[in-house]
Structure 1
Amino acid sequence: MIAAPHIYVDADACPVKDEATRVAERHGLILTFVSNGGLRPSRDPMIRSVVVSKGADAADDWIVENATQNDIAITADVLLAARLVANGVHVLGPTGRPFTPESIGIAVAMRDLKQHLRETGEIRGFNPGFSQKDRSAFLSALDQTVRRAVKATAP
């Protein structure tokens, strides 16, 4: 039997830590928060906290090195999502937006375009606020993704 999927959270500035915890607990999955610091440890043995060095991509690199095919990752970082999707990891943004092999190319292109437009002063660097609708969409998407990943590990 294939091991149950793990959930990895790019935890720096992640607005859905509590929601990810609830879904992981409901499905009995290990949840690992990865951050450069500031994580509150949990007494729950199914919830792990990993604090990496302060390097620019240290948390990203740790997640890529540890997440395997059919695991689940939560991140708003499009470049991290691209690395994970290439490894067969299910990836969701904090609004529930899935990053898939079919969508990751355009997501990276849009990220690069927006970065260029910010650098040239064409647009401002503001992200829309995180709403209750986003939180609800994330919960639904994560639950569906977990069900898909668990089903894929069944004998």
Structure 2
Amino acid sequence: MEKYSRRNSRVFVDGDACPVNKEIAKIAKMYDQDVLFVASYAHMRKDEGQNEWKYVDSEAEEVDLYILNMAQRGDIVVTQDTGLASMLIGKGVYVLSPRGKYYNKEDMDQILFFRYASAKERRAGRYPKGGPSSFSENDRQNFKESFIKLLSNLKGI
């Protein structure tokens, strides 16, 4: 993991369908880290608690565009959108999936090719059996460990 230096980094969360929002808020608080959850108005929540939320239009890609425009070198973004991840990595942003996988430059060509090939198959009417695996407690634990490790490294702990 390449280390970028920038003061006052921020965590942005693609919050529309993120299964680890509570874990992000809890861990970020332990590290005194600012977090902004970004979601569309269609996913507005009543139980925001102490967290900061930014709501954007419900049009396709609005959340991604907001995060892409606001995130700066050294920030952290939690998203499962590989297209967004590839653009953010180019800006020097750390990108982590809700399953705890770090996205990096070295893997992006393969990830984006797989995304393209899968979309091409779906357009041709061929769908994989079973779809993606369900989000598990093991995925949640992997995310927590990866997020803690990333924040610890960035804070120099």
Q: What TM-score comes out, normalization by structure 1 length?
A: 0.89
Matches within 5 A, 1:2-151: 2-37=6-41, 38-40=44-46, 42-44=48-50, 47-124=51-128, 126-151=131-156
Are the aligned partners of 2:6 and 2:74 in contact in 1 as well (CA < 8 Å)? no
What amino acid does structure 1 have at the position aligned with 2:148? D
Structure 1 position 43, deviation (Å):
5.0
Are the aligned partners of 2:39 and 2:56 in contact in 1 as well (CA < 8 Å)? yes
CA distance in 2 between partners of 1:93 and 1:27 (Å): 19
Are the aligned partners of 1:39 and 1:51 in contact in 2 as well (CA < 8 Å)? no
How much identity, in percent, do the aligned residues show? 26
Structure 1 position 35, deviation (Å):
0.5
Structure 1 position 54, deviation (Å):
1.4
Structure 1 position 147, deviation (Å):
1.9
Show CA shifts across 1:75-102 (max 9, x none).
0001010111111000011100111111
Unpaired runs of 5+ in structure 2?
A: none
Please tell me the root mean square deviation across aligned C-alpha atoms, in Å: 1.9
Are the aligned partners of 1:5 and 1:149 in contact in 2 as well (CA < 8 Å)? no
Larger CA deviation: 6-15 vs 97-106:
97-106
CA distance in 2 between partners of 1:60 and 1:139 (Å): 23
Q: What TM-score comes out, normalization by structure 2 length?
A: 0.88
Larger CA deviation: 29-38 vs 119-128:
119-128
Are the aligned partners of 1:117 and 1:123 in contact in 2 as well (CA < 8 Å)? yes
Structure 1 position 41, deviation (Å):
6.0
Report the number of matched residues. Answer: 150
CA distance in 2 between partners of 1:55 and 1:139 (Å): 30
CA distance in 2 between partners of 1:118 and 1:43 (Å): 39
Label 1:57 to 1:147 Cα distance change in 2 as closer, same or farther (>3 A).
same
Unpaired runs of 5+ in structure 1?
A: none
What amino acid does structure 2 have at the position aligned with 1:21? A
CA distance in 2 between partners of 1:75 and 1:2 (Å): 21
Are the aligned partners of 1:75 and 1:92 in contact in 2 as well (CA < 8 Å)? yes
Structure 1 position 2, deviation (Å):
4.3
CA distance in 1 between partners of 2:143 and 2:64 (Å): 21
Q: Provide the secondary structure at the position in 2 that maps to 1:24.
A: helix
